[in-house]
Amino acid sequence: MDIHNMYPEDLEQYLSQNKDTDYQLVDVRQPQEYEAGHIPGAKLLPLSELEGRLDELAVDRDLIFYCRSGRRSNIGAALARDSGLVDGSIANLTGGFSGWQGKILEEFPQFETLQGMEDPAQALEQAMNMEKGTALLYEAMLEQSAGLAIESTLARLVKMETAHARAIYRFLSKTREMEPFETVFSNLSGDLVEGGWDLESALERLRHNRGNSCLFLSELALDLEYRAYDLYRNMADTAEDREQQQALFFLSEQEKAHVRLLTRGLPGCF
């Protein structure tokens, strides 16, 4: 089942053409955000609680997820899809509640995947480079997080991304002779972050962050980790070598664990 992107104008049209019994609006933000303003009729199911409350979804209706910007709700929509419980369609409100209110969003550009890399080893080499790029980005985010609830999580993620790169290195070293990991990792450019977006653009956006810094950093990290999960999961599905497939499944599960780690920390931003 695919997750459909729905823009604010599409949602307005949808709501006017369908009965309340046809759909369920799901707000995955925190209670404080919901109380400050929400789309009428939306059910509050914070992303940090969603996995344990999937039984509260109206699985026989169309589900429309939203958050502030569309990042957290994209993950919520994926959790609902992957549960296998939903019979209706699943949509994510692009631009989120901010877009619904007509605000102009300074959003990150869409991430790219490892297209054009039919050689699995080449794809893994690029993935290792992206792990380094993501570690560098998290280090920059860590500098902005002093005193914030997400600070300790970002510190853990820096170490985890390096550990992921080491795991990829161990797999590649089984099939070829390679220099020590420290040398290989040091020589990587790290010019891409997870999902394929270039590091310099990410750092530039980071420098111009405005608003709730903890929430901004949390949503950015969630976006990175979910896209990394999606990338490794899709690579695993297409891998022909069993060992390689298992390595990719391991990485995808690790990225999913990072998503859970970040969602559990969201309430601390408020």
The predicted pLDDT at position 20 comes to 87
The predicted pLDDT at position 110 comes to 42
The pair phi, psi for residue 26, each rounded to 5°, is -120, 115
CA 267 to mean position of chain CA atoms: 17
The CA distance from 164 to 233, in Å, is 15
Local confidence pLDDT in tens for the 270 residues of the chain: 789 999 999 999 999 899 888 999 999 999 999 999 999 889 999 999 999 999 999 999 999 999 999 999 999 999 999 999 999 999 999 999 988 987 544 444 444 445 444 566 777 888 899 999 999 999 999 998 989 999 999 999 999 999 999 999 998 898 889 999 999 999 999 999 986 778 998 898 888 776 668 998 998 899 888 888 877 877 777 777 787 788 888 888 888 889 889 999 999 998
The CA distance from 81 to 90, in Å, is 7
The CA distance from 231 to 4, in Å, is 18
The CA distance from 137 to 108, in Å, is 14
pTM of the model: 0.80
The CA distance from 236 to 233, in Å, is 5
**DSSP states of 95-140 as a string?**
THHHHHTTPPP-PPPPP---TT--SHHHHHHHHHHHHHHHHHHHHH
The predicted pLDDT at position 77 comes to 96
The predicted pLDDT at position 123 comes to 77
The predicted pLDDT at position 190 comes to 95
The predicted pLDDT at position 67 comes to 96
Whether 214 is a known active-site residue: answer no
The predicted pLDDT at position 124 comes to 83
The predicted pLDDT at position 107 comes to 45
The CA distance from 114 to 135, in Å, is 18
CA 227 to mean position of chain CA atoms: 5
Q: Of the listed 67, 86, 93, 214, which one is catalytic?
A: 67
The pair phi, psi for residue 91, each rounded to 5°, is -130, 150
Q: 179 in helix, strand or coil?
A: coil
The predicted pLDDT at position 6 comes to 95
Q: 181 in helix, strand or coil?
A: helix
Helices (H), ranges, 112-269: 120-144, 151-172, 181-187, 199-207, 213-238, 242-265
DSSP type of residue 92? E
The predicted pLDDT at position 83 comes to 93
Going along the chain from its start, the domains and CATH numbers come out as 3-100 (3.40.250.10), 120-269 (1.20.1260.10)
